[in-house]
C-alpha cells in the first residue's frame, strides 16, 4: 500500500524503531527493497535524489512502476523525494507521485531554510503529502564533513525550526556523512546531542548517511530516537560485492544472471537492515493522520 511518511514515522516514533529509506535507482532495486519489506512485514521507504533521477531514474518513467509495486505490496510503502533542492523540483515531485517530500535547504542561512521549508510544507500538506526537512548539515564523507561539529544540529534552533515550519520529520546532523568513509574509519556519533534533540522535539528524527556507520552506532541511534535511516552507498555496495563474487566464481555469467544476483543481494541486505533497526513485523495501516501537523 502506498502511503505518505507521516503516519509511518509517527508509529515508529511512538514505538521506538526506525524505518529504512533506500535510494533505489532502477526497477530491480525498488523491487528488491519492497520485496524485502514484504517478507519482513515492515514499513519501507523507497527514495531517490535529483542527481540519481537525472542520471538513472527519470521519475516520469520509473515512478508509475514503483507506485504499482507499492500499491500491490502488503506493507506500507512511502515514495520519498530525497534532498529536494528547490521549489520546481518539489512541485514536479508532487506531480510525479511522490508521497513524501524532503526539502533540503540546510546549507542556506537559518531564516532562508525556514522560509523555503514553510512554503513546501504548506503546499505538500494541502495535498496530503508529508515533509522532511534538514537542520544542521549532513555533508559528504569524502570531505570529512561528519567530523565538523559546527555543522551539527543546534537543539534550540531545531525547536524553533519545527514550530515555524510544521515539518513532519527532521533530519539531524549528529556525525554521519553521505557516501564512503576512508577505509577503517567509523564515524563517532554525538549521542548526547541526539538525546537532547529527541527530548526537546519528541518527533520523528531522520539519520542521513547511514552507510558505513557500523551496527553499534545504528543500534544506538535507533535507541536514541532516530526513526528513519537513509541508506544508499551500502545498498549499492551489497550489489557490487555480490556481482564481483559471482563473476569471479562463474565468469560466463550473462547480463540476466548478474542482474538477478544484484537484486538478490540488495534484498538480503535490506532484510538484515530491517531487522537491525527494529521495523520487522511492525507494519500497520492504522495511520489516522495522513500528512498535516496543523
The catalytic site residues sit at 82
Closer residue to ligand 13P (CB): 45 or 292: 45
Residue 134 pairs with which residues in a beta bridge?
171
134 near ligand 13P, rule: CB under 6 A: no
Q: Provide, rounded to whole angstroms, the least separation between the CB of residue 187 and ligand 13P.
A: 10
Among 52, 89, 233, 290, binds ligand 13P (CB under 6 A): 233
> What binding mask, one character per residue, do residues 10-49 give for ligand 13P by CB under 6 A, x or -?
-------------x--------------------------
Rounded to 5 degrees, φ, ψ at 79 are -110, 115
Quote the CA–CA distance of 265 and 279 in Å, as a whole number.
Answer: 20
Among 118, 137, 208, 271, binds ligand 13P (CB under 6 A): 208
139 near ligand 13P, rule: CB under 6 A: no
Closer residue to ligand 13P (CB): 210 or 224: 210
Among 7, 146, 175, 210, binds ligand 13P (CB under 6 A): 210
277 near ligand 13P, rule: CB under 6 A: no
Among 10, 35, 40, 82, binds ligand 13P (CB under 6 A): 82
179 near ligand 13P, rule: CB under 6 A: yes
Closer residue to ligand 13P (CB): 204 or 209: 209
Cβ neighbours for 191, distance < 8 A, ≥ 6 positions apart: 174, 220, 221, 224
Among 20, 93, 231, 270, binds ligand 13P (CB under 6 A): 231
List the grid coordinates of 99.
Answer: 508521497
Give the residue from 89, 88, 90, 28 showing the smallest Cα distance to 56.
Answer: 28
What would you report as the CA-atom Rg of the chain, rounded to the nearest whole angstrom?
A: 18
209 near ligand 13P, rule: CB under 6 A: yes
100 near ligand 13P, rule: CB under 6 A: no
Closer residue to ligand 13P (CB): 38 or 213: 213
Closer residue to ligand 13P (CB): 29 or 287: 29
Q: Provide, rounded to whole angstroms, the least separation between the CB of residue 111 and ligand 13P.
A: 24
228 near ligand 13P, rule: CB under 6 A: no
Closer residue to ligand 13P (CB): 11 or 45: 45
Residues lying near ligand 13P in the complex (CB under 6 A): 23, 82-83, 178-179, 208-211, 230-234
Amino acid at each position: 500500500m502506498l502511503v505518505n511518511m507521516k503516519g509511518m514515522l509517527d508509529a515508529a516514533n511512538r514505538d521506538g524503531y526506525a524505518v529504512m529509506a533506500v535510494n533505489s535507482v532502477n526497477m530491480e532495486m525498488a523491487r528488491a527493497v519492497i520485496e524485502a519489506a514484504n517478507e519482513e512485514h515492515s514499513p519501507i521507504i523507497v527514495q531517490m535524489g535529483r542527481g540519481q533521477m537525472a542520471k538513472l531514474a527519470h521519475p516520469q518513467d520509473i515512478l508509475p512502476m514503483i507506485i504499482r509495486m507499492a500499491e500491490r505490496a502488503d506493507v506500507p510503502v512511502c515514495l520519498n523525494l530525497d534532498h529536494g533542492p528547490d521549489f520546481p523540483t518539489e512541485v514536479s515531485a508532487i506531480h510525479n507521485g511522490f508521497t513524501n517530500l524532503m526539502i533540503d535547504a540546510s546549507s542556506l542561512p537559518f531564516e532562508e531554510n525556514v522560509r523555503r521549508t514553510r512554503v513546501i510544507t504548506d503546499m505538500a500538506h494541502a495535498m496530503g503529502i508529508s515533509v522532511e526537512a534538514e537542520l544542521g548539515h549532513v555533508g559528504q564523507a569524502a570531505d570529512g564533513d561528519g567530523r565538523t561539529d559546527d555543522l551539527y544540529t543546534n537543539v534550540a534552533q531545531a525547536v524553533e525550526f519545527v514550530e515555524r515550519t510544521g515539518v513532519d520529520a527532521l533530519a539531524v546532523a549528529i556525525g554521519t556523512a553521505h557516501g564512503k568513509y576512508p577505509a577503517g574509519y567509523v564515524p563517532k556519533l554525538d549521542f548526547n546531542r541526539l538525546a537532547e534533540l529527541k527530548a526537546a522535539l519528541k518527533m520523528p528524527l531522520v539519520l542521513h548517511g547511514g552507510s558505513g556507520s557500523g551496527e553499534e552506532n545504528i543500534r544506538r541511534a535507533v535507541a536514541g530516537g532516530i526513526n528513519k535511516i537513509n541508506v544508499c552507498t551500502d545498498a549499492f555496495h551489497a550489489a557490487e560485492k555480490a556481482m564481483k563474487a559471482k563473476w569471479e566464481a562463474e565468469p560466463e555469467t550473462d547480463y540476466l544472471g548478474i542482474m538477478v544476483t544484484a537484486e538478490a543481494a540488495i534484498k538480503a541486505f535490506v532484510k538484515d537492515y530491517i531487522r537491525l533497526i527494529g521495523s520487522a513485523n511492525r507494519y500497520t495501516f492504522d495511520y489516522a493522520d495522513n500528512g498535516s501537523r496543523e
